[in-house]
Amino acid sequence: MTCKALTILLLLFVAGCGRNPPEALPPEPPPEPVPPPPAIEMRDATPLDVARAVNHAMADTVENVLPAVVVIRTESTRYFVDWYGRLLREAQRPVGQGSGVIIDPEGYVLTNFHVLHGGQRIEVILEDGTAYPATLVGKNEPTDIAVLRIESEEERTFPTIEAGDSDKIRVGEMVMAIGSPFSLSSTVTQGVISHKGRSESFLPIVDFIQTSAAINPGNSGGPLIDIEGRLIGINTLIRTAGGMNQGNIGIGFAVPSNTAMRAAELIIGGTEGIEFSWLGVVMQDTREGVLLTRIVKNSPADEAGLEAGDLVRRVNRKSIRSGQELSSIVRLGRPGDILTLEIIRNNRSMTVPVTTSLMPQTEIQFR
C-alpha cells in the first residue's frame, strides 16, 4: 500500500470516529463513606485514649468560643497649649488594651470597667481581625463590670458565648481563660478552680472565683470558661510576686458569671447596675452552716431581728453551706425580695423572714 493510500485510510478512520463517537463510560460510583471509629468503652480505653479524647474535646471547645472573644483597645486625645498660647491637639494615642466577650447577637460586649479607664475612643477587634468602633453602654463600678455596644453599619449577627451557672462550678474543675495578654490576641490558658468566694479589697462586695489558669495584663475582661465552653467568670485581677515581677504566679481572680451577667442585665436595661440587694451581715463558714458574726446597723438583717451568733442553715428551704452561697442568693435577687432564713439561736431553731434592700452607697456602721 502506497503512502497516499495509507493517509486516506487514516483520514477516513478519524472522520468515522468523529461521526460515531463511542458511548460515554458510566460515572464511577461515589466512594462509600468511611464509618466513624467505634466508640471506645471506658473499660477498654487506655490512658492515651482518654488523654486524646480530653485533648480533642478542649480544643473543640476553644474553637467554638473564640469567635465571641474580642480585643478591646482604647485611645485618648491630649490637648495642650504651645508657647504662643494656642490650644493644640495631640494625635489619638493608645492608652490601654484588654479583652471582652460578646453576650448578645446585637453586639453587646461584657468586660471589666477598668479596661476602659482613661479611654475616649473604644475599638473592638473580633477574632477574624475585623475592627469596629464601640460605645460604652454603662458600667457597674462596685463589681468592675461594663457593657459595650459594637457599632456596625451593616446588619450583622455577632457570635455569642453561652452563660454558665457560676454557683454550680466546683473547686477542682478544669477551666480555661481566654484573652489578649501583652497584646497577644486569642491566647488560651488552662487551669482549675482553686477556690470560690474569695474577697479582695479591690472589690469588697464580689465573691471572686480563684483560678490557676494563667491570667496576665491584657486578659482583664476576657472569659473564664468551663470545659463545655460556658462563661463562668470574667477575668479581673491577679496576685503577683510584687516589685518588678508583675506576671502570673498561678493566682488569678474572676468575677462570677452570675454576678457579671446580672450587672450586664441591669446596665442594658438602662441603669448603672447598682441595684444589688444586701442583708448587712458579716459571715463565717462553719461545718454546721453560716455563722453571722456582725450585723450592720439599720440594715435588712438588723430590721429583721437577726443577731450576731445566729447560725444560718437554710434559705428559702435551700441548705446553705457557705457564706458565698448566701451572698449569691442575696445579690442575684432584687431589692425587696423576701428571704426566709432558718437559723439556730441558743440551740433553738427559728425562722426569720428578711426583706432585702438596695445596697447603700454610704459608709456603714455595725451594731
If pLDDT is split at 50, 70 and 90, which confidence band does 244 have? low
To the query of whether residue 56 is one of the catalytic residues in this protein, the response is no
pLDDT at 327: 81
To the query of whether residue 44 is one of the catalytic residues in this protein, the response is no
Burial classification of residue 195, based on how many CB atoms lie within 10 Å of its CB (0-12 exposed, 13-18 middle, 19 or more buried): middle
Judge whether 258 and 164 are in contact, CB under 8 Å: no
What is the rounded average pLDDT of the residues 235-257? 72
Evaluate if residue 10 carries a pLDDT over 50: no
Domain regions of the chain by residue span: 66-150, 163-268, 277-358
From the list 185, 220, 299, 327, the catalytic residue is 220
Closest Cα to residue 220, out of 74, 361, 58? 74
pLDDT at 82: 58
Q: What is the pLDDT of residues 303-344, one digit of tens each?
A: 999 999 999 999 998 888 888 778 878 877 788 899 999 999
Q: What is the pLDDT of residues 58-105, one digit of tens each?
A: 889 999 999 999 999 888 666 656 566 666 656 555 656 889 999 999
Q: Which residues contact 102 (CB under 8 A, 6 or more apart)?
A: 68, 69, 70, 108, 109, 110, 150, 158, 159, 160, 161
CA distance 224 to 297: 37
Helix (H) and strand (E) counts in the chain: 5, 23
Lowest mean pLDDT among 43-47, 122-126, 144-148: 43-47
If pLDDT is split at 50, 70 and 90, which confidence band does 14 have? very low
Question: What percentage of the chain carries pLDDT values higher than 90?
Answer: 35
pLDDT at 36: 52
Closest Cα to residue 275, out of 145, 103, 114? 145
To the query of whether residue 194 is one of the catalytic residues in this protein, the response is no
If pLDDT is split at 50, 70 and 90, which confidence band does 363 have? low
From the list 99, 114, 207, 257, the catalytic residue is 114
pLDDT at 178: 92
Fold held by 277-358? Pdz3 Domain (2.30.42)
Q: What is the pLDDT of residues 266-282, one digit of tens each?
A: 899 887 555 678 888 88
Strands 290-295 vs 281-285: parallel, antiparallel or unpaired: antiparallel
From the list 99, 144, 185, 299, the catalytic residue is 144
Q: What is the pLDDT of residues 153-203, one digit of tens each?
A: 888 899 999 999 998 899 999 999 998 877 677 789 999 999 887 766 556
Judge whether 341 and 314 are in contact, CB under 8 Å: yes
Q: Which CATH architecture does the domain made up of 163-268 adopt?
A: Beta Barrel (2.40)
Q: What top-level class would CATH report for the domain 66-150? A: mainly beta
Q: Do 66-150 and 163-268 show the same overall fold? A: yes
